[in-house]
Structure 1
């Protein structure tokens, strides 16, 4: 019996935390409106997600498939927690990793074409596949990836996303596991980027409007 998956809901009116309460790299101090989700809260929530995932999927070889680039920090921390459960639990299963890179955005607008770069999906046949994503917005990208994965006839496919954004464009897709459900705000940090900047920021933060112009790809 799969465990029931809950998400940590953040209300639309939530404004976050004053950035002066946290350690922010000096090169980004003028660019951030607020700290939205502090790093410590991300790590605690990730630990719980790892437990839920192992309860549901931990009876058979797991292939953890990281969606690059934005998912790499969440992926690494999630796998650390899964590894700890493997080492300290009553049962353990092999966990192997693979990567897929999806190009989606230029500036803060979705790209016209979604392209999958360098994916190697032939090893997924008969495996339990855990797709690890940073953020789900409309869900269209994830549906396209899942279609490719299911062609390889895996034993099971589950999706975990650190963030799910509430948007009017969403057709209603929900991942199997969600870290935080957030309002329709443009967030960066913890490997989520704006034109490759802000990946080196520990916290998830709200970007100032004038910073979008500052870092705009020209």
Structure 2
């Protein structure tokens, strides 16, 4: 692997790296729902930065798997916004390119969180439809990878259906000693902190936030189940 290939591999797998000492942006300089005013610490990644990063991810995916039909497997609920924006960017690039990706989108739900903690139990909802993936090129679109256990379990589960190819794109990857898994495409590598917004939730709250934000301790307590 030459230097350019090495840099490209690094960018895809680590994405935009946000350091451990990043404190985010003051809430007062953004427009946010008033009902969350006391529940957030900061805006961690502004919406505009997210959109620009997704455009680059779409470009990387086009270069790698253009001229193929792929099944996009969106992991709900947190991945729906990222998936919709990523698919739209790929479609826009395809319309203006000699290469073309034909896509169909399917959905799956995974449950592995209680409050802000990942659990050992993985529930797969919608698994009866996975037989459609046999012999297909699959792009899994996930919102955030924490320990990597959930994604590894899903990939192991998919092996039984014998897809032709499986790639994983995750908007966020948390940096921690517990995470031994790296997706094929990463939007942002972030510290091991609990973030909400851009469809990422805390017990079904905060999905309506435009930006990715850090939830405050009082917010965790307020919406704890």
SS of 1:17's partner is coil
* Higher relative helix content: 2
Which consecutive aligned stretches of 4+ in structure 1 deviate over 2 angstroms post-superposition? 1-5
Are 1:49 and 2:57 matched, yes or no?
Answer: yes
* Corresponding residue number in structure 2 for 1:38: 46
* Corresponding residue number in structure 2 for 1:136: 145
Give yes or no for contact 1:61–1:93 (8 Å, CA) kept in 2: yes
* Cα distance in 2, alignment partners of residues 58 and 124 from structure 1: 19
* Corresponding residue number in structure 2 for 1:194: 202
Give yes or no for contact 2:172–2:186 (8 Å, CA) kept in 1: yes
What per-residue deviation string (whole Å, max 9, x for no partner) do you get for residues 149-173 of structure 1? 2221212111000000012322x21
What per-residue deviation string (whole Å, max 9, x for no partner) do you get for residues 46-96 of structure 1? 000001011111121110000111101100000010111121111213100
SS of 1:153's partner is coil
One of 117, 130, 151 as aligned partner of 2:160: 151
Residue 12 of structure 1 deviates from its aligned partner by: 0.3
**In the TM superposition, what are the counterparts of 1:31-110 in structure 2 within 5 Å?**
31-110=39-118
Long gaps (5+) in structure 2: none
Long gaps (5+) in structure 1: none
* Corresponding residue number in structure 2 for 1:29: 37
Residue 4 of structure 1 deviates from its aligned partner by: 3.0
SS of 1:196's partner is coil
SS of 1:4's partner is helix
* Cα distance in 1, alignment partners of residues 208 and 49 from structure 2: 17
Aligned CA RMSD, in angstroms, stands at: 1.5
TM-score by length of 2: 0.92
SS of 1:165's partner is strand
One of 164, 174, 178 as aligned partner of 1:169: 178
TM-score by length of 1: 0.95
Are 1:4 and 2:9 matched, yes or no?
Answer: yes
* Corresponding residue number in structure 1 for 2:131: 122
Give yes or no for contact 1:163–1:182 (8 Å, CA) kept in 2: yes
What per-residue deviation string (whole Å, max 9, x for no partner) do you get for residues 119-172 of structure 1? 3211112221100000001101001111122221212111000000012322x2
